[in-house]
Amino acid sequence: MFAMTSILSAQDKPIIYLSNHTFSSENSIIGTVSLKGSDARIKLKGDNAKRFTLKANKLSIRKKHIKSDTKWYDLTIEAQTGSGKVEETFRLVKDDFHRNRVIAHRGAWKNTGASENSISALQHAVRLGCQGSEFDVHMTLDSVLIVNHDPSFKGKVIHSTTFAELKQLQLSNGENMPGLEEYLKEGIKQNSTKLVLELKPTINKERAIQSARKVYELVRSMKAEAWIDYISFDYNICLELKRLDPYARVAYLNGDKAPDLLAADKLWGLDYNQSVFQKNPEWIEQAKAKGLTINAWTVNDPKLLQWFLDQKIDFITTNEPEMLLKMVGN
């Protein structure tokens, strides 16, 4: 016998969205709870429900629960719709994230002896106190996400090699190539450094869209939204991530779109090669006027680092996080 009320097709299934996943001692308001696909009555559930309030779909944390020793609370939100109940559990993270603009490019590897995109490069970036640590993601033959910069490694092309086979390969520091799940597990142990996830372009649009969906599903299942800022050179990937979660922070890397185009598509920011800003210096003010975040990569020269600091852009991606941290007074 079928319980008809609980059967919803994947297309009709309502999805609960949260506009923000952090709370801070300065601001007890977290954000808006919204639902795609249906009108519904929304309520808070579970052990942590008492720590929060929900009024007119605005979620807040009760002040007394903003404890300094609690890094996050998991909160379940239930929506009762005409066609059934849906519930989602979100991780609401205390916002102790650094605001120093320093993004370690592929982690902090150059001056630490770690391999690029290794777990230890991420750990070094966290230990240094970077605002963010960037890393690159590809999808294997068997549709598993893995962290590596190039589309191939030691002669193995990632999109045509299985995850099990790639996991056998050692990085230069002796670590194995990390799967994205393993990498994120390490990254979400802390709440001071953001995880800047670059999803790499691939051989065709279908696979690109599939990889975006896989990434989103993994991030959602790990409740890692508070930590993740997405970046990609592939505009289809950017748009798919925004379609999957309208509140996802997604910045575009390829440098060929003016700020007003990105704002029209509700992207979070532009994350362009340093030379793009030298060719189009007016894009900095235009992006600020549109409320877009600005990141420049990969800036390693002290004079150029200072130039970008003077432009008051939001982030600078660098292979020299130690130097840039000193320059910003850390």
Q: How far is the CB of 134 from Mg ion (least distance, A)?
A: 6
Residues 261-290 interacting with Mg ion (rule: CB under 5 A): none
Q: How far is the CB of 241 from Mg ion (least distance, A)?
A: 16
**Number of residues in contact with Mg ion, rule: CB under 5 A?**
2
Q: How far is the CB of 222 from Mg ion (least distance, A)?
A: 21
Which C-beta is closer to Mg ion: that of 21 or that of 105? 105
Residue with the CB atom nearest Mg ion in the bound state:
198
Which C-beta is closer to Mg ion: that of 135 or that of 216? 135
Residues 189-218 interacting with Mg ion (rule: CB under 5 A): 198
Beta strands in 159-232 (DSSP E): 194-199, 228-232
Q: How far is the CB of 133 from Mg ion (least distance, A)?
A: 11
Q: How far is the CB of 136 from Mg ion (least distance, A)?
A: 4
Which residues pair with residue 15 across a beta bridge? Answer: 36
Q: Which of 91, 85, 96, 102 is nearest to 40 (CA)?
A: 85
Residues 135-194 interacting with Mg ion (rule: CB under 5 A): 136
Tell me, residue by residue from 35 to 74, as one string, x for binding to Mg ion by CB under 5 A and - for no binding.
----------------------------------------
CA-CA-CA-CA torsion sign (328, 226, 239, 217): positive
Tell me, residue by residue from 97 to 136, as one string, x for binding to Mg ion by CB under 5 A and - for no binding.
---------------------------------------x
Give φ, ψ of 279 to 5 degrees. -75, -35
Structure tokens at 257: 């779109």
Instruction: Return the axis-axis angle of helices 205-221 and 180-187, rounded to nearest 10°.
Output: 40
Q: What angle do CA 71, 77, 81 make, to 5 degrees?
A: 165
Q: Measured in whole angstroms, how far is the alpha carbon of residue 184 from the centre of its chain?
A: 10
| Interatomic CA distance for residues 147 and 43, integer angstroms | 37
Residues of this chain that bind Mg ion (CB under 5 A): 136, 198
